[in-house]
Structure 1
Amino acid sequence: MSTIDDTSGLKHLGSGKTSYAFHEPTADILEAFPNKYPNRDYQIRFEHPEFTSLCPKTGQPDFATIEITYIPDALCIETKSLKLYFTAFRNHGSFMETITNKILDDLVSVCQPRMMQVVALFNPRGGTSLTVTAEYFKDNSAPIETQF
């Protein structure tokens, strides 16, 4: 097996022409590349501590750390496109629960993992912090133990 990764389908990474969208998060921003080890179960974990969005009612900013853990199947999420996707929430007004589930749905639609978990740890606002966890299991398989 070749150890050279196929990057031919990636448009964001290395383009030198980064374009930011601050209000329209869509799955179209996300990119994936072929997993060189699709027959092996292994975890990939992303942690994005600088996530921002807006409250849909007040327009006040919400800040969070977004943690994503997944077991890839045929495809892996490309990191730069994930950063651009997160940036697209910056001026987007939506409830924290909706955001967490949208992130999960969009990522699953792009890479079809065996398992994925998105944990959104929102900073306290009004004296209350909020953590939302959303999970996906391909073919309704059993949850896989992960440590966060």
Structure 2
Amino acid sequence: MNRQFSLAGLLRLRQTQQDAAASGLARANSRTASLRSRRATAREELAESAGAAGSSASLLAIAASRASAQSMLAELDALAASAEADAEQARAEYTEAKRRAVGLEKLENRHGAAFEASALRAEQGVLDEIASSAWHRSSAQPAPAARKAGS
């Protein structure tokens, strides 16, 4: 049995793909978290800006400001939804890449175990042969008492 796993190159490729997918997932999760934070901050600032209108001009300015803030919040919501979709896509890609790599890793582990078992069997065969040869040599020699009687 060959010591080297025949699919080692493919396994490295799959692991590289898994690493790339994990990196993409981390970026997507970071972007999603950043957008959530920006959205929460914008909502807090909008809630805190309850100014009292002293004149009609300031009332119009407050209304325009709130409309602008609402528009910004809507854009942030759309970006957050897009980021969530991207994160879900990245999660699916990572899961698929991991699934492909895990299958090959299991094959590599089985190959390693089979190789070790084969090596142990071969070693045991050599040890058995050595022991058998030693036994045959010792049984072929006459006993020490028989040698003295013959001399």
TM-score (structure 2 length as normaliser): 0.20
Structure with higher Rg: it is 2
The structure richer in strand per residue is 1
TM-score (structure 1 length as normaliser): 0.21
